[in-house]
Amino acid sequence: MKTYWQNYIDGAWVDGGAGRIDVINPGTGEKLAEHALADAGDVDRAVQAARRVHLSGALSDLRPVERGRMVQAMGRYLLEHQGELARVLTLEQGKPLWEARIEVEGAARYFEYYGNQAETVEGRSIPLGKSYFDFTTYEPFGVSAQIIPWNYPVEMTARSLSAALATGNACVIKTPELTPLSNAWLAHAAEAVGLPKGAVNILCGLGHEAGAALSAHPEVNQIVFTGSVPTGITIASAAARNVVPCVLELGGKSAAIVHDDADLEAFENDVRWGIYFNAGQVCSAMSRVIVHHSVYDELVERMVGVARSLTVKPGIEQPEFGPTMGAMVSDAQRDRAAGMVQAAETGGATVATGGRKMNIPGAYLEPTILRNVTPDMTIANDEVFGPVLSVLKFRDDDEAIRIANGTPYGLVGGVFTRDLDRATSAASKLRAGQVFVNEWYAGGVETPFGGYGKSGYGREKGREALWNYVQTKNVAIKLKT
């Protein structure tokens, strides 16, 4: 492991104006490396480099198929370096090594998908009678600023970077200060596939310094942010002052409704992935389960079984797919989650299993199930962002929907039933950008994803995401006839 990592600006690896930051391995609590820390001057240099690329036409004037091929090649580069990249990702983020490999595959898939889409961004002609020829084109915004969270640093960067490049934007990425190392492979990928210098700039910096400087920069033309609601509001406010569009993906408190006719045994697998994948640090995690009262006790018992079946240890010791979970991203995030569990207990919830910090070095929290949670409790409304599942009870379908829709969030929702009418009715009533029926996380890169309510606006994934990165131009030509 390299001990010092630099930022990547205008095709060069450079130190940061704000010095360095320690990167900690949350699996052991030990220092892993140092990373250059960008200041506002570095941000400005990166934005100016991206702007030069944009104005030169080096990206936007390319035939889309050529740009698309480069984007696809970036994905292949990540797969070719999957082993080393996954290792660093695990060491800086805490997730099991097998999960880190899945993340790299997911990142590569974004480049494959959006690389493929590059040549499908077509305008249309609009009939205005024989005296006119009118058509629309889609043009890139120019400089796309992307502020990345620490839970999926590689995949989240890939998600916005691939779509932005495919549509011809030059990019400035602000990596998360907790997990900046793995983003270096995205810079290497951009270089390897021959993108012009300055088309991809990647820098680590503190949110309130580099992040704030980037989101308020007057030459940034579009912003993508994934993270917390308060930061989202700050960034959207900065964007509004410059009148530039934003995509905001701000987390959730997503609920699975489990009916009495659901396949409870199959649901164990949804619990395993829905709340314990990445130690629950997933914006679309299944953090609430709302269960029909008649199967409540049986389901709680099954879910407790899933939680207890997981071995929790350093991610680097978990090379093979299996019933394992890693550390959370930091002691602070773990302590915050443990504190929320404790407050829930004080407020009347019961810890069915887990709930405690583990007595080993590193940011570990036991896989946790809370029962007797009621909709009014803080734990039923606030995002924990950890391996903590709240179980609530319902008596009729309307009550289940009311509880599911009862938080300010609206990212995803789920309904588990063998009754198709019930499932489709719930799907239409759930206020969420994506609804899973009988499988949590059903869907893929192809399916649009994004929030209702405080979960944000704009869509990532799918063809919908492309429209975040382009603006429509209409050309109306007066003919002589």
Whole-angstrom distance, CA of residue 141 vs CA of residue 220: 9
Cα 395 to chain centroid distance, Å, stands at: 34
Q: How near is the Cβ of 180 to ligand NAD at its closest, in Å?
A: 9
Cβ burial of 473 (10 Å; 0-12, 13-18, 19+) is: exposed
From the list 99, 283, 366, 383, the catalytic residue is: 283
Whole-angstrom distance, CA of residue 305 vs CA of residue 316: 25
For residue 412, is it left (φ>0), alpha (ψ between -120 and 50) or beta?
beta
Pick the closer one to ligand NAD by CB: 115 or 280. 280
Pick the closer one to ligand NAD by CB: 148 or 349. 148
Cα-based angle 340, 343, 348 (whole degrees, multiple of 5)? 125
Q: Which is nearest to 231 in space by CA: 206, 261, 262, 266?
A: 206
Amino acid of residue 217: H
Q: How near is the Cβ of 238 to ligand NAD at its closest, in Å?
A: 7
Q: How near is the Cβ of 215 to ligand NAD at its closest, in Å?
A: 5
Whole-angstrom distance, CA of residue 167 vs CA of residue 269: 37
Which strand (E) or helix (H) includes residue 222? strand 222-226
Q: How near is the Cβ of 57 to ligand NAD at its closest, in Å?
A: 30
Q: How near is the Cβ of 281 to ligand NAD at its closest, in Å?
A: 7
Q: Which is nearest to 299 in space by CA: 272, 247, 264, 250?
A: 264
Cβ neighbours of residue 450 closer than 8 Å, sequence gap 6 or more: 247, 249, 411, 433, 434, 456, 457, 458, 459, 460, 464
Pick the closer one to ligand NAD by CB: 416 or 457. 457
Pick the closer one to ligand NAD by CB: 208 or 241. 208
Q: How near is the Cβ of 8 to ligand NAD at its closest, in Å?
A: 16
Q: How near is the Cβ of 356 to ligand NAD at its closest, in Å?
A: 19
Cβ neighbours of residue 444 closer than 8 Å, sequence gap 6 or more: 109, 461
Pick the closer one to ligand NAD by CB: 285 or 299. 285
Dump strand ranges (E) for 321-444. 324-325, 350-353, 368-371, 388-394, 412-416, 434-437
Pick the closer one to ligand NAD by CB: 112 or 177. 177
Cβ burial of 199 (10 Å; 0-12, 13-18, 19+) is: buried
Whole-angstrom distance, CA of residue 139 vs CA of residue 121: 9
Contact residues for ligand NAD, defined by CB under 6 A: 147-151, 174, 176-177, 207-208, 211-212, 215, 226-228, 231, 234-235, 249-251, 283, 383, 385
Q: How near is the Cβ of 82 to ligand NAD at its closest, in Å?
A: 23
Whole-angstrom distance, CA of residue 445 vs CA of residue 166: 15
Q: Write out the two tokens for 298.
A: 């049986």
Is residue 246 among the annotated active site residues? no
From the list 103, 155, 249, 366, the catalytic residue is: 249
User: From residue 291, how far is each of 249, 256, 268, 296, 416 by CA, in Å?
Assistant: 27, 8, 13, 6, 10
Q: Which is nearest to 110 in space by CA: 193, 172, 166?
A: 166
Pick the closer one to ligand NAD by CB: 213 or 258. 213
Pick the closer one to ligand NAD by CB: 103 or 249. 249
Q: Which residues are catalytic?
A: 249, 283
